[in-house]
Amino acid sequence: MDVKYINPFLDSLMNIMPQLGISDLKRKSLSVKGKTIKSPGVLINVGIVGDLRGNVIYGTTVECAKKIASSMMMGMPVSELDEMAQSAISELTNMLTANASMGFSEEDISIDISTPTLMYGDFTATASSDKVICVEMLILGLPFEINIAIDRIS
């Protein structure tokens, strides 16, 4: 697991979120954790194959997910993380990962991504990689994390 895999995901977030009307983005911390990821409420899994192989697992709270979904739906109030809101957040992670894959291609790393799967509740994820890089952010003042569990294919 290489630290240089972080930037395409960060750049993508910084690039995509303002396009969705969200500019309140703060980088909080960067850490390396084991393969266990505790759900802050919502986790979205996106698979990756190509020169790199693994998963990116986005995590956030239900409150933050609802705020992002509301912003994505032109400010429509979102009181529940219903099917529409879940679909919006899934689409967001699809955009974020697709944009990151273009960032990787500029580094001559070619990857393809799967469709996202969103889960919510009180649960834990076990990642495919032994070491997971976790980028913690604050979006609209609320926690949002990118867990990167990818390995280079030799």
Using CB under 8 A, list all residues that contact other proteins.
39, 43, 45-49, 53-55, 57, 83, 86-87, 90-91, 98, 102, 105-106, 112-129, 149
Q: In the complex, what is the shortest distance from the CB of residue 89 to other proteins, in angstroms, rounded to a whole number?
A: 9
Nearer to other proteins, 16 or 118 (CB): 118
Nearer to other proteins, 73 or 119 (CB): 119
Separation in Å, CA 63 to CA 2, 52, 66, 106, 131: 32, 32, 5, 35, 28
Q: In the complex, what is the shortest distance from the CB of residue 13 to other proteins, in angstroms, rounded to a whole number?
A: 19
Q: In the complex, what is the shortest distance from the CB of residue 147 to other proteins, in angstroms, rounded to a whole number?
A: 10
Three-class secondary structure of residue 134 per DSSP: strand
Rounded CA-CA distance 56/25 in Å is 19
